[in-house]
Copies of this chain bind each other. A is one copy, B any other.
């Protein structure tokens, strides 16, 4: 009986394996078609399971989606949590940009899953945005404000600075096809890291 309170802690190896299979397949399908655009049949096929079998491990389509989103939210914010107030300000922020861009490179599907959700009004995670996300951002904004007040980085709007970092790094995952269509043969992630480091250095230098 995989459903219920202890669903997150499957007992058997086979439950663990199938849950992972389903979540992996669901990530693939949800991230490329959005929630409504995805179908259980697609996810089942992708996972190599039957549709009723999916619903043996998860109570509904929405439950799979929620599990993905909440499970990913933490990972997604890790690069920001790692921003240390004790470090050298500009180095800390450039390292954050690096980590964020690396996330886009390694986990583009996760990025697109969030992008789909947010572009469509974030109906399922709005509360998390106004809660946990805002809280974390507010905390880091305070750190950035300290740095600007001490003249250690340029006096830029801290919230919009953070939006810039999100926007520029995630762009390479979310709008991948557009970037590639315009670049032609050139690989986006070849030049992007150096470019972003360069411009953020200019933005942050007092």
Chain A residues engaging chain B, CB cutoff 8 angstroms: 32-37, 112, 115-116, 118-122, 126, 129-130, 133-134, 137, 154, 156-157, 159-160, 162-164, 166-168, 171-172, 174-175, 177-179, 181-184, 186, 191-192, 195-196, 198-199, 202-203
In whole Å, how far is A16's beta carbon from the nearest beta carbon of chain B? 30
Once the chains bind, are A171 and B177 in contact (CB under 8 Å)?
no
Query: How many copies of the chain does the oligomer comprise?
Result: 2
Chain B residue with the shortest CB-CB distance to A186: B159
- Of the candidates B126, B177, B178, which one forms a contact with A177 in the assembled complex, judged by CB atoms under 8 Å apart? B126
- Of the candidates B112, B122, B203, which one forms a contact with A203 in the assembled complex, judged by CB atoms under 8 Å apart? B203
14 more CB-based (< 8 A) A-B contacts, given A115-B174, A118-B174, A126-B177: A35-B37, A112-B119, A115-B119, A116-B120, A133-B181, A154-B202, A156-B195, A159-B182, A163-B175, A163-B179, A167-B167, A167-B175, A202-B203, A203-B203
- Of the candidates B130, B178, B199, which one forms a contact with A164 in the assembled complex, judged by CB atoms under 8 Å apart? B199
- Of the candidates B120, B174, B186, which one forms a contact with A33 in the assembled complex, judged by CB atoms under 8 Å apart? B120
Once the chains bind, are A122 and B177 in contact (CB under 8 Å)?
yes
Inter-chain CA distance A126–B178, complex, in Å, is 8
- Of the candidates B37, B168, B198, which one forms a contact with A34 in the assembled complex, judged by CB atoms under 8 Å apart? B37
